[in-house]
Structure 1
Amino acid sequence: MQFCIADTFTTSLARLTGDEQKSAKTTAFDLQMDPAGNGMSFHKLDRAKDPNFWSVRVSRDIRLIVHKTAGSLLLCYVDHHDKAYQWAERRKLEVHPTTGAAQLVEVRERVEEILVPKYVEDSRPATQQKPKPFAKYGDAQLLAYGVPQEWLADVKAADEDSLLELADHLPGEAAEALLELATGGTPALPEVATKGADPFQHPDAQRRFRIMSDMDELARALEYPWDKWTVFLHPAQRQLVERHYNGAARVSGSAGTGKTVVALHRAVHLAHQDEDARVLLSTFSDTLANALCGNLYRLIWNTPKLGERIDVAAMDALGIRLYAAEFGKPVFASRDEISTLLKATATQVDGLKANVAFLLSEWEGVVDTWQVESWEAYRDAKRLGRKTRLPEAQRALYWQVFAEVKKQLKQAGKITASEMFAKLTEAMSKRKHPVFDYIVVDEAQDIGVQQLRFLAAIAGDRANALFFAGDLGQRIFQSPFSWKALGVDVRGRSRTLNINYRTSHQIRSQADRLLGPEVSDMDGNVESRKGTISVFNGPEPTIRSYADAEAECQAVGVWLQQCSTSGVLPQEIGVFVRSESELSRAQAAVKAAGLQGRVLGRDMATEEGFVSIITMHLAKGMEFRVVAVMACDDEIIPSQVRIDTAADEAELTEIYNTERQLLYVACTRARDQLHVSAAKPASEFLGDIDLLQK
C-alpha cells in the first residue's frame, strides 16, 4: 500500500504542543508500519463529502485525518477533535480533470441568493462595480491552470478585492496562476499527466504530497514540520535544482521565495548525482552557515555518508582553513589598526590634504578590495562606483600612503581578508585537482570581489561547478561590482523565483515599497519584483511613530501582548533593532508585554518560551510569525554614524541603499504580522513606504 504525507499535515502538526506532536508522530509511524490500522481506532466521518476520509484516534482529544483507499493511505491533517472533523468536512481529494494532479480541494459552500421584492426604489447612486479580471477566460483556460471545476464560477466573479480571499481556498498552482494573471503576468501552464499516470507523481502534486518509502523518510518529514519547504519543493524550484548548467548559474528572488531551499536541495542533488564529488555549500557569515548546517541536517540526517561529502562553511571560515593549510595560520589586521596606520602615514606625506575617513574609504573600496599592488595599477584603476575625481598628482600622494601601509602590514606579518582570498585564488588555480567539484553559494549578493575570484578559480570552466542563490534587494554588506569582469557570467543562466511562501501579501507588498520595482547588477542582469506573488493573506502591517522611546516601548508591549493572547507563542515572535545601541528598547517592550526575551547570539538559536531580540544585520535567514521592528528613528536608520563617514556622493548613495535594504530584510522576516515603530522624528524610510500614521 502506498503511504503518503500531505503538507497540510506537517503544517497542522506544527500548531500542536510538543507532547501532542509526539503522540501524533507515534500514530503516524504506527500507520506506516500497518496501513490497514489493525488494532487502531479508525472512525468513519459521516459528514465528510469525501467518503474516503477517516479519523484516527491519537489521544483523548487529538485526531488524525487520513484519506484511505484500497491502494493508498494519505496523512492529511491533525488537530483537536472538533477542528479536525471540521477540516475534513470541508475537503475532498480529487484528481484534476485537466492536469491530472492530485489535489486536496476545499468544498465550495453554496449559499443561494434570496431575492427580496422591491417595493421602494432606492434613490442612492449605484456603486460602480470593480472589474472582474477572470470573467474573460473560458472554463477550459481556467481548468488548464489547475482551478478546480467547482470553483470556476467563483473565480470568474472575483474582483481585485475578493481575489486574495479566494486564493486562500484554492490549490497552490491555481492560486499562483490567478495572482500572476491578475498582476499582468503570463503563468506557465502546469504539466498535463498522461492517461493512467499516478496523480501523486504529477509535479504539482509533489509540492504538497510526498510518498514515503520507508520509516526513515517519514521521520525526516516529521522531524521539523514547521519548515515543510525543505521537504516539499515547488515545481519551479525543482527544475532549478535538477537542471544541467554549462556554466555558472544564479537563482534570485525577493525575500521568502525559497532561494535557500533551492540552494540546499541543489547541493544535495549534486552529491547524489556524483558519488565521488565534494560539494561546498557556503554563504557570507558564520551565522547563516550555522543555519544552513541545521537545514541540511533536516534533509540528509538519515544518509550521513552523503553529509560527509557536503562541506558547509562561511566564506571567511573556509578561507582561513584553506589558507592555514597552504601558507600557515593567517594573522589579520583590524579595521581600526589600518585606520591608525593610514592616519599616521598621511601626516608624513608632504602636500597631502585628506581626512582619514576618505583614506580609509579609498583603501577599502579600491586598494584592498581589488588588491592593487602598484602605483600604475592604482593610477589606472577605474574606481567603480566612486564619483570623487582624483587628479593623477593627487592619486600619487595617496599611493605613497597606501604603499607605506602595505609595507608596514607585511613587515608585521599581517594581512586582510581580501589579501587572503587573493593568495588563495593563485594557489587554487595551480591545483591539479580542485578542492571542491561543485560550489553552491547562498546569499550570494553579499560575497566580495576576492571571494568571487577565489570561487571561480576552484570551479574553472566545469559544468555545474558554480551555483548562486541571492537577492540584490537584500545586499547589506558588499558594494556592487561586475561578476562578468571576474570571469563569472550568469547571463542566460539566471532565473528569478516569484512565489513567496513565507510572507503575507500585505507585508510583502508594503516592504517592497522600500525598494524599486527592479534591481539590476553591474552586468545588466535585472531582477524584477513586479511579478512576485504571496500565496496567503494577513493583516495590514502596523506602522507608528510615538512621542518618545518610552511611549514606543509601552505601545509595542501592548501589541506583543495582544499577539500572545491570540495564541502566538513567545518563540514565534522576533523583535529587531538597527544596532546593539537600541537593544534596551526592544527588551523594555518585551518586558512591558509581560513576556521573557532573549538577545540572540551569533548562533541564532531561538529558545522555547522566549521572544527573540535581534539586530537587523543578524536577521538574515530568520523567520517568525510575528515581528516588531523598533527604534526606526531619524539618525538611527539610515545610520547617522555611517552617513558621517561618507567620503563622497557615491558612497553616501551606497549607504542609503544598504540601509534601506537592511530595513527591508528586517520587515520581511515576518510571516503573519508586522509592527514597525519609531520615536519622533521617525526615519524618512517609513514615509517612503507611505504608511506612516501620525
Structure 2
Amino acid sequence: MTGTFHHRQERLRREAEAELRDRLLPSWHHRVLQRFAVEHDSGWYPLLNQFAPHTPANRPDAVLVGPQGVLVVLLRDAEPDWEDARAAFVWTAELLAGASTEAGAVTEAVARAVVVHPADHRGRKGHSGEHLAITEAELDRVLRHGERLLEPAEVLGIARHLASRTFDLSPIMWNPQRIPQQRGPGRTAGSGLFEVRDLRRERVERALERPFRDWRIFLDDAQLGAVRRRYSGPARITGPAGTGKTVLALHRLAYLARRTTGKLLFTTHLRNLPLIAAEQFRSLAPHLVQRIEFTHLHAWARDFLDQRGRAADVDEQQVEQAFEAVWQRAELTAPLRAFRASRSYWKDEIDRVIKGRGISALDTYRTVPRKGRGRPLPSELRAHVWQFYCEYERELSERGAFDHNDVLMRALSELDRRPLPRQYAAVVVDEVQDLTLIGLRLVHAISGDGPDQLLLVGDGQQQVYPGGWRLSEAGISLQGRGEVLRRNYRNRSAIVQHAGELDAINRFDDLDGGPTIALRSALPVLRGGHVVRWEGEDQEAALIAALRELDDDTDTAVLTRTNGAAQHWDRVLREAGFTVRSLDRWNGRTSGPIHVGTVHRAKGTEFRAVFLPDERPQSHGHRDELEAADRHRLVARTRARDHLWIATLSR
C-alpha cells in the first residue's frame, strides 16, 4: 500500500514537471509547485499565476484551496514588503467574494498569506506581520498540519469559484470542468426532495455541531454584504438577540484591518465583553489581533487621561460614601423619597440623566427628556433633584473622588482641547444602547465622521441600564447607513418563541425613527429546543437535580439579576459538588465549569443551557421597573441555545 502511494505521488510529480516545463521558473519554484500538485491527492487544488515567474510584487504566485483553507502563496527569495503581502491577500479575498457553500457565504477568515522561501533562506521565518514565512522544506506546516476548516465539497466549490473569477489563475493538474460536483450524503441530483428552507436549517444544524470556528468561515449573504460594504459615515448594525451582530462586527474589524493602517478600536460599556470579543477575534484572525484594541469605554478614558497627565481613577467606595452621605440628609431627600423611595432610582437619575447627559445647568435639566424613567418629574421637583446632585458633587470634591461619568466627561473635554494625534482606522461600539449620552459623544469624538470610521452595534430590547437618548443628540447622523438583521442563528425556535412573549419595550431610539425588529419578529433558523417552567418551594434542590439530568453540563450558565443572588448560587453549586466559574472572570474560552453571574455580565455570551432561578422581586409596580425587568428577562432567556430552565417560587 505504501509503495503504491509513493508510486502515485512520484507519477503526479512527473506529470506536474511536464506541465510546468515550458515555464521559465527558478528550480526551487519548480520543486514547490510540484509539491503542490502532488498534494492534490490530499484534497488540495493549486492554481498558478499566469505571469509567474514575473508575477507582480503585489499579487500571489499561487493560490491553494484545501482542507486547511485558502493559502495565498508568494514565492520569494527575500522577504516581501508587508504592503505587497497584504495587497496579494486582499486581491485574493476580493476574488473569494461571492463564493458560497452549503454552510453559507465564504468569509476572508478562510484565507491566509504564506510566503515561501528557498530551502537555504537565512532570513526571518515564522509569523511576520500579517503573513507566515516558511521555507520550501517546511511546506508540511501548511499542507498537512493545522486546523481543518473546509469539507471536500467546500474545497472544490471554492477552487472552482476562484478559477472562474480571473484569467490570472490557472489550475495545475486539475480541470474544474471535469471534476463532478460532490454531493452530500443521501442526496441525488434533481431529486427535489429538499426544500430550500430545509437545506438552510440542515446546514446550520450541521455547522452548530462543530465549534465556533465555522462562524469564522461562513456568514449568510446579508451578513457578508454588511462586512464588505463601504459606508460614507457612521453606520449601525441592529437586530434582535441571536442574529449575529457581534460576530458580524468582528468580521468587519478584520476586513477593515486588512485594508487600512494603524490601530482599530472595539469598545463597549460592559467590562467583560471586550475580553470575550478579543478571544473570538483571536480565533477569527490571530495575525490581526495586535491591530485591534479591545477595551471597555471607561478603561479607555482612564488610560487616555493617564497618558495626558490628567489621571482620574475611580474609587468605588469613596463614590458610594459620597452618595450615601447626601442620601441620609432627610431635609434634602424628603421630597425625593415622597415621589419615589428607591435610593437606586435617584442614583440612576444622577448617573444616567444628569451626569450621563452632561447637563451642567438647572434650566437645561428642567426641560430635558427622561426617556424610560417612568413618571414625569414636575419642574419644582427637578429643582430639588438638582440641589441633591450639587451636594453629591460637593461631597465628591471634598473627598477628591471621581465617579465613572467624571472620567468620561474629562476625557471628552481633553479630546476637545487636543484631539488624538493619530485617529483610529475604525471604531466599533458594541451594546451601544447601554452607553450614556456622554459616552456616545466620547466614542463619536474618538472616531470622527469619516467613511467606515464608526460602527454602532446594538438592540434596544436588550438595554439593561435605565435611560435613553437619540443619536442626533450626540451629533451622529446615520442617513440610512447600516443593516437590520433578522435571522436568529443562536436560539432554537422554542426559546425564541418563549422569550419573544416578553413585552420588552425598546426605550433606546437607536435608529432615530428608522425601523426596528422585535425578537418576536425574528426568523429562527434552528428548530426544536427545550423550555422547562418549574414552580415550587425548594428551587435549590430542583435546580441542582435539573443540572444533574443534563447529558453534558459544560457550556451551562446560571444567571441572576443581582450580584448577591449570583454569590448565593455560586456557594450552593460548589457545596453540591459542581465546578463553578464566575462570569466576572470569564474571557469566553470554552471550559468545563458551570458559569454563574448576573445578566449584565452575560451580555455578549451564549450557552447550550441556561438556568434562571427566581429572585424576590424588587419592583414596586412602577412602569420603568416592569419594563426593565422584561428586558432583563429577554436578555437572560436568549443566552440559551438548546435548553432553558426557568424557576418560579410559590408565594
TM over 0.5: yes
Give the equivalent residue in structure 1 for 2:77.
none
Q: Which of the residues 538, 543, 556 maps onto 1:556?
A: 543
* Alignment of 1:621 onto 2:608: no
How far apart in 2 are the matches of 1:589 and 1:606?
24
* Alignment of 1:439 onto 2:549: no
TM-aligned CA deviation for residue 487 of structure 1: 0.9
TM-aligned CA deviation for residue 225 of structure 1: 3.6
Q: Where does the alignment leave 5 or more consecutive residues of structure 2 unmatched?
A: 1-43, 46-64, 70-100, 105-138, 161-175
TM-aligned CA deviation for residue 317 of structure 1: 0.6
SS at match of 1:480: coil
Q: What are the equivalent positions in structure 2 for 1:24-423 lying under 5 Å apart?
A: 33=143, 66=152, 105-108=184-187, 149-151=190-192, 155=195, 166=198, 170-171=202-203, 225-275=211-261, 277-301=262-286, 303=287, 306-332=288-314, 334=316, 335-343=319-327, 347=331, 357=343, 359-386=346-373, 388=375, 390=377, 392-423=379-410
TM-aligned CA deviation for residue 324 of structure 1: 1.9
How far apart in 1 are the matches of 2:153 and 2:478?
45
TM-aligned CA deviation for residue 537 of structure 1: 1.8
Query: Sequence identity, in percent?
Result: 24
Q: Which of the residues 482, 493, 516 maps onto 2:481?
A: 493
Give the equivalent residue in structure 2 for 1:454.
442
How far apart in 1 are the matches of 2:389 and 2:349?
9
How far apart in 1 are the matches of 2:249 and 2:407?
26
How far apart in 2 are the matches of 1:394 and 1:423?
29
Query: Taking structure 1 as reference, are residues 494 and 653 closer, same or farther at Cα in structure 2, changes over 3 Å only?
Result: farther
Give the equivalent residue in structure 2 for 1:673.
643
Output the amino acid matched with 2:256: L
Q: So what's the TM-score if we normalise by structure 2?
A: 0.66
Give the equivalent residue in structure 2 for 1:527.
516
How far apart in 2 are the matches of 1:397 and 1:666?
36
Is the contact between residue 335 and residue 381 of structure 2 (CA under 8 Å) also seen in structure 1? Answer: no
SS at match of 2:357: coil
TM-aligned CA deviation for residue 322 of structure 1: 0.9
TM-aligned CA deviation for residue 612 of structure 1: 2.4
TM-aligned CA deviation for residue 420 of structure 1: 2.1
SS at match of 2:218: coil
- CA-to-partner distance for each residue in 1:190-216, whole Å, 9 max, x for gaps? xxxxxxxxxxxxxxxxx98xxxxxxxx
Q: Which of the residues 426, 434, 453 maps onto 1:465?
A: 453
Give the equivalent residue in structure 1 for 2:117.
none
Is the contact between residue 286 and residue 602 of structure 1 (CA under 8 Å) also seen in structure 2? Answer: no
- CA-to-partner distance for each residue in 1:535-565, whole Å, 9 max, x for gaps? 222233111212x12xx3333333322322x
- CA-to-partner distance for each residue in 1:484-540, whole Å, 9 max, x for gaps? 122123351232111222211111121111245988627223321354222222233
Is the contact between residue 252 and residue 496 of structure 1 (CA under 8 Å) also seen in structure 2? Answer: yes
TM-aligned CA deviation for residue 264 of structure 1: 0.8
More displaced stretch, 381-390 vs 493-502 = 381-390
Is the contact between residue 558 and residue 592 of structure 1 (CA under 8 Å) also seen in structure 2? Answer: no
Is the contact between residue 260 and residue 469 of structure 1 (CA under 8 Å) also seen in structure 2? Answer: yes
How far apart in 2 are the matches of 1:325 and 1:392?
42
Give the equivalent residue in structure 2 for 1:513.
501
State the aligned residue count: 493
Query: Taking structure 1 as reference, are residues 350 and 388 closer, same or farther at Cα in structure 2, changes over 3 Å only?
Result: closer
TM-aligned CA deviation for residue 338 of structure 1: 3.5
- CA-to-partner distance for each residue in 1:159-198, whole Å, 9 max, x for gaps? xxxx8xx4576556xx9xxxxxxxxxxxxxxxxxxxxxxx
How far apart in 1 are the matches of 2:455 and 2:190?
40
Is the contact between residue 472 and residue 521 of structure 1 (CA under 8 Å) also seen in structure 2? Answer: yes
How far apart in 2 are the matches of 1:350 and 1:614?
35
How far apart in 1 are the matches of 2:102 and 2:568?
38
Query: Taking structure 1 as reference, are residues 338 and 368 closer, same or farther at Cα in structure 2, changes over 3 Å only?
Result: farther
SS at match of 1:501: strand
Give the equivalent residue in structure 2 for 1:481.
469
How far apart in 2 are the matches of 1:672 and 1:353?
44
Query: Taking structure 1 as reference, are residues 253 and 105 closer, same or farther at Cα in structure 2, changes over 3 Å only?
Result: farther
How far apart in 2 are the matches of 1:578 and 1:388?
24
SS at match of 2:605: coil
How far apart in 1 are the matches of 2:384 and 2:527?
59
- CA-to-partner distance for each residue in 1:411-461, whole Å, 9 max, x for gaps? 443222222222322322343545423211112121111110111122333
| Aligned-pair Cα RMSD in Å | 4.1
SS at match of 1:612: strand
Give the equivalent residue in structure 2 for 1:79.
none
Q: So what's the TM-score if we normalise by structure 1?
A: 0.62
TM-aligned CA deviation for residue 326 of structure 1: 2.6
Q: Which of the residues 632, 640, 645 maps onto 1:662?
A: 632
How far apart in 1 are the matches of 2:155 and 2:212?
28
Is the contact between residue 375 and residue 396 of structure 1 (CA under 8 Å) also seen in structure 2? Answer: yes
More displaced stretch, 336-345 vs 251-260 = 336-345
Is the contact between residue 268 and residue 429 of structure 2 (CA under 8 Å) also seen in structure 1? Answer: yes
Is the contact between residue 372 and residue 507 of structure 2 (CA under 8 Å) also seen in structure 1? Answer: no
Give the equivalent residue in structure 1 for 2:66.
4
How far apart in 1 are the matches of 2:156 and 2:481?
45
How far apart in 1 are the matches of 2:157 and 2:381?
81
Query: Taking structure 1 as reference, are residues 426 and 266 closer, same or farther at Cα in structure 2, changes over 3 Å only?
Result: same
* Alignment of 1:425 onto 2:412: yes
Is the contact between residue 530 and residue 642 of structure 2 (CA under 8 Å) also seen in structure 1? Answer: no
Is the contact between residue 227 and residue 251 of structure 2 (CA under 8 Å) also seen in structure 1? Answer: yes
How far apart in 2 are the matches of 1:340 and 1:423?
24
* Alignment of 1:544 onto 2:528: no
More displaced stretch, 346-355 vs 292-301 = 346-355
How far apart in 2 are the matches of 1:8 and 1:31?
28
Is the contact between residue 236 and residue 483 of structure 2 (CA under 8 Å) also seen in structure 1? Answer: yes
Query: Taking structure 1 as reference, are residues 360 and 512 closer, same or farther at Cα in structure 2, changes over 3 Å only?
Result: same
Is the contact between residue 555 and residue 607 of structure 2 (CA under 8 Å) also seen in structure 1? Answer: yes
Give the equivalent residue in structure 1 for 2:40.
none
Query: Taking structure 1 as reference, are residues 67 and 380 closer, same or farther at Cα in structure 2, changes over 3 Å only?
Result: closer
Is the contact between residue 280 and residue 440 of structure 1 (CA under 8 Å) also seen in structure 2? Answer: yes
* Alignment of 1:573 onto 2:556: yes
Output the amino acid matched with 1:426: S
Give the equivalent residue in structure 2 for 1:689.
none
More displaced stretch, 339-348 vs 572-581 = 339-348
Query: Taking structure 1 as reference, are residues 607 and 281 closer, same or farther at Cα in structure 2, changes over 3 Å only?
Result: closer
How far apart in 2 are the matches of 1:70 and 1:607?
31
Give the equivalent residue in structure 1 for 2:72.
none
- CA-to-partner distance for each residue in 1:34-75, whole Å, 9 max, x for gaps? 69xxxxxxxxxxxxxxxxxxxxxx9xxxxx98559999999x
* Alignment of 1:582 onto 2:552: no
Output the amino acid matched with 1:665: V
SS at match of 2:414: helix
SS at match of 2:191: helix
Give the equivalent residue in structure 2 for 1:39.
none
TM-aligned CA deviation for residue 406 of structure 1: 2.4
